[in-house]
Structure 1
Amino acid sequence: MRIFIAGATGALGSRLVPLLVEAGHEVFGTSRHQTAVAGLEAQGATGIVMDPLDPDSVRAAVAEAKPDVIVHQLTALSGITGNPKKFGKEFAMTNRLRTEGTDHLLTAAQEHGVRRFVAQSYTSWTNERRGAWVKSEDDPMIDDPGKEARETLRAIRHTEDAVTATDGIDGIVLRYGTFYGPGNAMARDGLMADMLRRGKLPVVGGGTGMWSFIHIDDAAAATAAAVERGAPGVYIVVDDEPAPVAEWLPYLAEQLGARKPMRLPAWLARPMVGQFGIALMTTVRGSSNTKAKRELGWSPRYATWREGFRTGLG
């Protein structure tokens, strides 16, 4: 098949391209910068310069590729500081890519007869924070995640609704857990590792917030599976073991050779991290990968973050 990857030079796209090439697909990858084209071509793909916020640029890129499948992996995450109080500002461009960029890609898909469309979404703090600590695709998203994340949740909802409801499109949404591994904040040379080594990432409150993780290579493998199979709909892509902050954060610090994180009461941390930061540490819910494993024929190589943090951080 001819596969068009929007955002092919990002953390996930750069791992996805070689998988699809190796599987025998003809891959077309986009970047906003001409300098990245050579890297894509070295991986065996055809590089296309595209401005995802310019509808004419998107139409021209899709027309050039003539794809059977479009994969939407557009994000803009450079410059992220890890401060939850700045979350909305730092995700502003990614939110545009999830709204305007998604719409441009879907319009181009319709105009050029592309039926299958696979898009990136996210799961964790987006889950309702009541009831079970592990959620499935059937459970609702939270109504209000807090002021710092409202626009980001709105953008995520837009992507999911547009991709799964556009006429003539077999839309698949992949709700990835928190990425770790090479090229991510949670890597040996990443932002989170630096914060832990400097003692800047404490366990807040009881550390009861439940997180679900996915190694970047496992996320790429699930995406490759969704290109080829799976009914339209939403799939959660995470490992097999959701875990509370109080459990995974000290283990991550140990694997990085950092000191054990200090503990701070929520009232003391709130002025520094805001209400959203408190939620990330104490009330967010994890997610289940049961549907993705069953219907995509996929299983994570790193079944648990315990193994992944030990051997897969890069």
Structure 2
Amino acid sequence: MRVGRSSYRAVSWHLESGGVQWVEQRLLPHRFEQVVSRNPEDVAVAIESMQVRGAPTIGATAAYGLALAWKEGKERFNEFWLPRFRATRPTAVNLFHACDVMQLYSEQNPTITQMIERAGAYADAEVMANRKIGACLAEFLAVGERRILTHCNAGWLAAVDWGTATSGIYHLAHAGENPFVWVDETRPRLQGARLTAWELNQEGIDCRIQADGAAAWMMAQGRVDAIVVGADRIAANGDVANKIGTYALSLAAKEHGVPMYVAAPSSTFDPACLKGSNIPIEEREGSELLEMDGMDRAGSIQQIRIAATGVVANNPAFDVTPFGNITAVVSELGVWQP
């Protein structure tokens, strides 16, 4: 998608250097920078530290990182690098799907070039899935002005290109419609305020950031027509793990009769996970709640503490929304409804 007048992907292969290139998402929206590395450890750290994030982007990044790791030989690839990448994040199943794909392909003893091409094909497939998801979502969202609420970032930064939840919004905008988006700020890492609002602004789509706690009130006031979110893992029974706060949104949506759509590629489905209660939920450092980054008036990015010294925080990164609270799950394979 666009940044200024240029098009980018969240992660890609950098031909000139022979390495992986990704958008350093922690710097957004204040600075747009790309990182390039030929070291698979740097790629693994990028996933762990949330330089890259979003389930499909995590999967594609791992695929590229494992292509780099193939240069160290098959034994090292299987004994060290596959476990290393699998351990980077626990909830997003796309990561494990990408590792499985690359492991299976490695059994054919491909060349390094072929491994890189396989990783690229994996990323391309995610982008194609996103475009199909968007076309389907756009049919659900009626023509004309629509007031759509989204939570966290399920845009191109999270999904290589186009995004999952945002893909339908982009399809509407490119068709000449006028979608309006309520963007939940999404505490504690503010992916909505920092990333989704920035993405939409780059595409010229009208949006407004709101506090997470405002969403239910806006629904009660009749100012939300639909909710569209992404997913990090979808269980066999349709339960959806997504950014913390999604479950609460679903309860408010059900109360006020607002349709709630989940947009995710098939790589996010985990048929081996029978129900949502079996999905591992990542617990992140409490410092994410106790501290905040921002740009001061001099243009310098600073970190400040917002809670009293000695206070501790509980920080589950995801929650699980029951399938029955969802209007439809939309993937490139079709629509799944309770």
When normalised by structure 1's length, the TM-score is 0.33
Choose between structure 1 and 2 for higher RCO, CA contacts under 8 A separated by at least 6 residues. 1
